[in-house]
Amino acid sequence: MARVHFRISHRPPGPPPGTLFLTGDHRQWSSDPAGWTFQGDTLSADLPDGTLAMVKVRVLASDGTVTEEGDAWGCRAPAHTVVVRGDTDVTLEIAGWQDGRQGRGRPSRSVPPTSEFTLAAPWGEQSVRVWEPAASAGPLPLLILHDGQNAFDEAPSFAGETWDAGRAAQALADAGHPIRIAALPVNDERSRRYVPFPFELNDFQSGADEYLDWMLDTLRPALAARWGDTPASQTALAGSSFGGLITAYAGLRDPGAWGTLGVLSPAIWPADFQFLRWMEGRTATQTRVWVDMGDHEGGSVTEAAEVVQLTHDLSARLRPKVQDVRVTIGAGHWHDEAAWRARLPGFLRWWLQS
């Protein structure tokens, strides 16, 4: 075990008085402060050497209300990252607290979508957030993204970080390779819609096939009516984590529907890695697949190395089933939007090489 010393270097005014404590993925994001309470602005705890943790500060008020640190405009903020290498000192700077301001006054750091529309879906109205280059007309290469709330601007994003897909696409357009992006936001049904196998987080009721059927039967025709038909060879589907899982599943479920797959940090573990068994005997010989992973995606240095090896193993299983596989490992990358933002431009350039 290693001794880890956490110190809050900056704490803004608020929230209500209460017990200041630390939570994180090493605690399954528990809001029980027992054993993790700050004394003033410091906290010391024992963690296994080699731990990789994402942590946040919370406050438990006397009425039981829990307030989590946020950004300077009252919204959710990215977690602090911790690498334990022997006795470790960790400085935590708190920008603000999550409150009712909902980001009012926050300057945009990312490129917003150029338009947005809704389509009917079995689960209700589905928003489609669009980015396209100025004065575009007719078909262009088309990228469809899962987790569309995290694709462009910070306002609807999960933790105030995005893929900044519009900026990446604008750079391509400036280089003479214009594309369009259609991003699909998802709500708290994410596990049901993105995981194609029954497991705990979707209450053992997957809606993935319903989602993919809707994409083929409703979304793709709607986009074709808007811009003209984009052939499968110029259509890419991409997502991260469970979004990476549903992307890989879609490519093998409907061979020929998607020319390129962006499988970023795929979470293939649900239902005891059922995806690896499901994919046996399936092929998509006209499809190119990008598979990537960060080298800090795990609860420890050892676990992260195992995840990287699993990514290479998945790629090896895919290689005889598809046209091409590209594997990328992000050095120093965690399982978060910042990492996917960093790797997105490389994926886009590789996609457009075809």
Q: 74 and 208: one domain?
A: no
Q: Do the domain assignments include residue 297?
A: yes
Lowest mean pLDDT among 39-43, 63-67, 81-85, 153-157: 153-157
Q: 73 and 32: one domain?
A: yes
Using the predicted structure, report yes or no on whether residue 289 has a pLDDT greater than 70.
Answer: yes
**According to the model, what pLDDT value does residue 322 have?**
98
Q: Do the domain assignments include residue 102?
A: no
**According to the model, what pLDDT value does residue 104 have?**
73
Using the predicted structure, report yes or no on whether residue 14 has a pLDDT greater than 90.
Answer: no
Mean pLDDT, the chain, whole residue set: 95
| Domain closes at, from 34, 68, 97 | 97
- Split into its structural domains, the chain has a count of 2
Tokens of 307: 């995840």
Percent of the chain residues topping a pLDDT of 70:
99
Q: 165 and 280: one domain?
A: yes
**According to the model, what pLDDT value does residue 96 have?**
92
Digit-coded pLDDT (tens) for 189-226: 999 999 999 999 999 999 999 999 999 999 999 999 99
**According to the model, what pLDDT value does residue 354 have?**
65
Q: Do the domain assignments include residue 110?
A: no
Q: Do the domain assignments include residue 136?
A: yes
Q: Do the domain assignments include residue 222?
A: yes
Tokens of 321: 């089933």
Long-range contacts of 24-27 (CB under 8 A, 24+ apart): 24/53, 24/54, 24/55, 24/56, 24/79, 24/82, 25/53, 25/54, 25/55, 25/79, 25/299, 26/51, 26/53, 26/55, 26/299
Lowest mean pLDDT among 70-84, 203-217, 314-328: 70-84
**According to the model, what pLDDT value does residue 16 have?**
77
Q: 307 and 256: one domain?
A: yes
Lowest mean pLDDT among 1-10, 73-82, 236-245: 73-82
- Cα–chain center distance at 105: 25
**According to the model, what pLDDT value does residue 29 have?**
97
**According to the model, what pLDDT value does residue 160 have?**
80
Q: 260 and 151: one domain?
A: yes
Q: 72 and 135: one domain?
A: no
| Domain closes at, from 62, 97, 132 | 97
Bridge-based pairing of strands 235-240 and 260-264 is parallel
Q: 273 and 152: one domain?
A: yes
- CATH number of the CATH domain containing 327: 3.40.50.1820
Contact partners, residue 208, CB within 8 Å, separation at least 6: 192, 193, 194, 195, 196, 246, 249
Q: Do the domain assignments include residue 107?
A: no
Q: 43 and 119: one domain?
A: no
Q: 260 and 193: one domain?
A: yes
The residue behind tokens 């596989």 is 325
Q: 131 and 243: one domain?
A: yes
Tokens of 28: 């399954």
**According to the model, what pLDDT value does residue 184 have?**
98
218: left (phi over 0), alpha (psi -120 to 50) or beta: alpha
Q: Do the domain assignments include residue 347?
A: yes
**According to the model, what pLDDT value does residue 102 have?**
66
**According to the model, what pLDDT value does residue 43 have?**
98
- CATH number of the CATH domain containing 74: 2.60.40.10
Digit-coded pLDDT (tens) for 89-121: 999 999 999 987 766 777 778 999 999 999 999
Using the predicted structure, report yes or no on whether residue 130 has a pLDDT greater than 90.
Answer: yes
Q: 3-class SS at 212?
A: helix
Digit-coded pLDDT (tens) for 252-281: 999 999 999 999 999 999 999 999 999 999
Q: 263 and 176: one domain?
A: yes
CB 15 within 8 A of CB 96: no
Q: What angle do CA 304, 308, 312 make, to 5 degrees?
A: 165
Q: 3-class SS at 246?
A: helix
Q: Do the domain assignments include residue 121?
A: yes
Q: 238 and 305: one domain?
A: yes
With cut-offs at 50, 70 and 90, classify the pLDDT of residue 331.
Answer: very high
What's the mean pLDDT in 155-165? 87
What's the mean pLDDT in 291-319? 98
The domain of 77 spans 2-97
pTM of the model: 0.95
Tokens of 194: 């993105």
- Cα–chain center distance at 223: 24
Lowest mean pLDDT among 24-28, 52-56, 152-156, 246-250: 152-156
Half-sphere exposure of 133 (CA within 13 A, CB side): 19
